[in-house]
Structure 1
Amino acid sequence: MTPFERNGPRGCELPVLITPSLTGESLLDALARLRDQIEAHLLVVGGVLLRGFSVPTVDAFREFAAGFGHPLLSYEFGSTPRSEVGGGVYTSTEYPAHQHIPLHNEQAYTREWPMKIWFHCVTAAPSGGATPIADSRAILRRMPAPIRSRFESGLVYVRNYGDLDLPWQKVFNTDSRAAVEAFCLRSDIRWEWTIEGGLRTRQLVQGLAAHPRSGERVWFNQAHLFHASNLQAEVRESLEELYGVENLPRNVVYADGTSIPDGVLEEIRAVLAEETVSFAWQQGDVLMLDNMLVAHAREPYQGPRKVVVAMAEPHNNLSGF
């Protein structure tokens, strides 16, 4: 009996399920014998669920993630609120429990992102709270050709930091304007300080991308999250009336600056929904994803839930796309 459910019509291949050879086997103890197997599965399928292993502490999870040979990354230029647990391990996105977080590849709205991402279920919610996933290659294959063609040229993400979004101090992990400007220069981000003391950034990034190891093309962006159509209709109308489109907390346009029609985003969201695979968390689970090959989400939940996250192996696209 498979624990996974696919919204679409095809049989489930994602994620690969790995269980212990002995009851109570420590995940850390299993790392040496499983590392190569996990890496191979990641490159082919994109995701591995390690279930039934002993993961007694967050420190043990941290050591497991670090055991793949890359320092764990800090959460810089983030788009959602989260807190550091320690040593490169963070809480999952701290949105209210009733909110659905759509599918996305971590930091696909930038030109630099982690290749690997781990999720560890410390406490499974009694109701809901799954972390659905989807194959970014399959998403690209199913995406209508006209959309693929427009996204091939890239996208421009616009962010206004402050009262309506995360403050720039939290996003850039600094109170120094000079440090922010230095980061933007390194990352090819255009910035401007507003009269009110806020910050607006614009960055041209990829809509599609090629995996650095396999060369496979993937759907790799967060247009459906940043686009104004992601707001509730009444909220969007109110914000546009009060602040204007240019001052929305987030938005995304085509590379040439033209608006992306709402209908395009509706088609994109439909494809994402069709490719979604979902499973219920069990306490102690560790889900490891190739961040380019597999997108992730979060379902609403009730009751206590604690999932922590680690990221590693930075990859950048600063030279262009």
Structure 2
Amino acid sequence: MAASSSTTGNLLPFQPFSLPASNQRTLGEPHAPGTVIPLALQLSPERAAGHDATSSLDAVVTTIKQLADRGDLDAALRRHGTLLFRGLPIQKADDFSRFAHAFGYKPHEIIGIVVDRPLLAKNVAPANESALTTTIGSHNESPQVPHAPAYIFFYAHRVPEKGGETPIGSSLEIFNKVNQEVPEFIQELAEKGVKQTTIYKPNAQYKGGSTLKQAFGKLINDEDSDEVKRQKIEDQIRRYNRPAEYTSWQWNEDGGITLEHILPAIRTQPGTGIPGFFTSLAAQYAQKKRTPDAERLRTVRDTTYGDGSAIPERYLDVLLRVTEETRVLHKWQRGDVLVYDNRIAQHGREPWEGKQEDRQVFASLWDGELPGAYGTAAFAQVVPALPDIQV
């Protein structure tokens, strides 16, 4: 990804480098031969030697903008799914924000957030604040709602001595392998979709969780009546822009709300039409296998087929095994930035030893072209969210 000197002047060239096998692997079909995940990039050591610009965030941002304008970064993400940038002069949330904004994407608005993400810098928030002992299995970001980001950026501000790795895997490769083993599972997902049921309560249900107001109540004022508050929450839900048979809700006695979506668990890559999973099914199933129900069933309920019937465990066993066999675990170094194309790549989080604050990873979410539908079912169509309501 080196820039031509005739067109870029003093712009900084990024060069690929290799990671340990546990952290980087060659992808199988449908990826092109020799495609690795993640593509690891660093500034050219030769260029860095004695070159003051390599320590300048301004120079890095200028270079990223140039590469983005040429389409180089989009092309790399379409092929590899995930990029690692190492050795950048990023020291804080504001630096990370500048780097992420240089890609030129549109900031993603989370409608119906289930975790607490306080703003640290422009379009930057903590990635996840759940307990350090919690394993977060491989998943695409926001599969439980219709409006999901296209890109996710992660920046390692602090890293633990042991553990805390971030899984990386290809949704396209997982789909291809599962389809070879249990094509009937793929057929059922295409025909029925999945039902995602999420319960939002007035108060956070666990450490790092969101409240109902954080999820849908950003336009609520303290002086609003209960009726007006409910109306504003429902107006935000309607921004998902979906028919009532695919997105519905009911109010609960405690003042919370239960929200149901019938969604596609398979979507297609923009530009290629290649199908891939877009789901947290494997992560939820793994959590179910290792965690008692009383601790597990807090915010997100078990996922079923769209008609409410249970997904056979023999299918979920295959999906979980393939997901774990094809992933790598990114061992963070301080200052690392991972960029995911969320439409075709999955991420997660491993537990770590030490203290909660030993691992601080910041996230930045961005929109892009919508993925396509797999199959002809109406629920499979991915539609843009409606603009925010003006008050």
On whether the aligned pair clears a TM of 0.5, the verdict is yes
TM-score normalised by L of structure 1: 0.87
Q: Return the match for 1:288 from 328, 336, 339.
A: 339
More strand by share: 1
Tell me, in whole angstroms, the C-alpha distance in 2 between the residues paired with 1:2 and 1:204.
Answer: 39
For structure 1, the residue ranges without an aligned partner over 5 or more in a row are none
Contact 2:26/2:36 (<8 A) preserved: no
- Matched with 1:16 is 39
Mark the CA change 1:118 to 1:239 in structure 2 (over 3 Å): closer, same or farther: closer
Tell me, in whole angstroms, the C-alpha distance in 1 between the residues paired with 2:167 and 2:234.
Answer: 36
- Matched with 1:306 is 360
Contact 2:118/2:126 (<8 A) preserved: yes
- Matched with 2:230 is 177
**2:254 is the counterpart of 1:221:** no
- Matched with 2:14 is none
Structure with greater contact order relative to length (CA < 8 Å, sep ≥ 6): 1
**2:88 is the counterpart of 1:34:** no
Q: SS where residue 150 of structure 2 aligns? A: strand
Note the C-alpha offset of 1:46. 1.0
Deviates more, 1:60-69 or 1:23-32: 23-32
- Matched with 2:328 is 277
Tell me, in whole angstroms, the C-alpha distance in 1 between the residues paired with 2:104 and 2:295.
Answer: 45
Tell me, in whole angstroms, the C-alpha distance in 2 between the residues paired with 1:257 and 1:107.
Answer: 20
Aligned residues: 314
**2:187 is the counterpart of 1:149:** yes
Note the C-alpha offset of 1:226. 4.8
> CA offsets per residue over residues 225-266 of structure 1, 9 Å max, x none?
456x73466731x589xxxx9x98512211122122334322
Tell me, in whole angstroms, the C-alpha distance in 2 between the residues paired with 1:34 and 1:285.
Answer: 19
- Matched with 1:90 is 125
Q: Return the match for 1:260 from 311, 323, 329.
A: 311
> Given residue 133 of structure 1, which amino acid in structure 2 is its aligned partner?
I
Note the C-alpha offset of 1:297. 0.8
Q: Return the match for 1:2 from 11, 19, 39.
A: 19
Mark the CA change 1:89 to 1:28 in structure 2 (over 3 Å): closer, same or farther: same
Mark the CA change 1:73 to 1:8 in structure 2 (over 3 Å): closer, same or farther: closer
TM-score normalised by L of structure 2: 0.72
Structure 1 or 2, whichever has the larger Rg, is 2
Tell me, in whole angstroms, the C-alpha distance in 2 between the residues paired with 1:67 and 1:217.
Answer: 29
For structure 2, the residue ranges without an aligned partner over 5 or more in a row are 1-17, 28-33, 49-53, 221-228, 381-391
Tell me, in whole angstroms, the C-alpha distance in 1 between the residues paired with 2:73 and 2:150.
Answer: 14
Contact 1:172/1:180 (<8 A) preserved: yes
Note the C-alpha offset of 1:314. 4.9
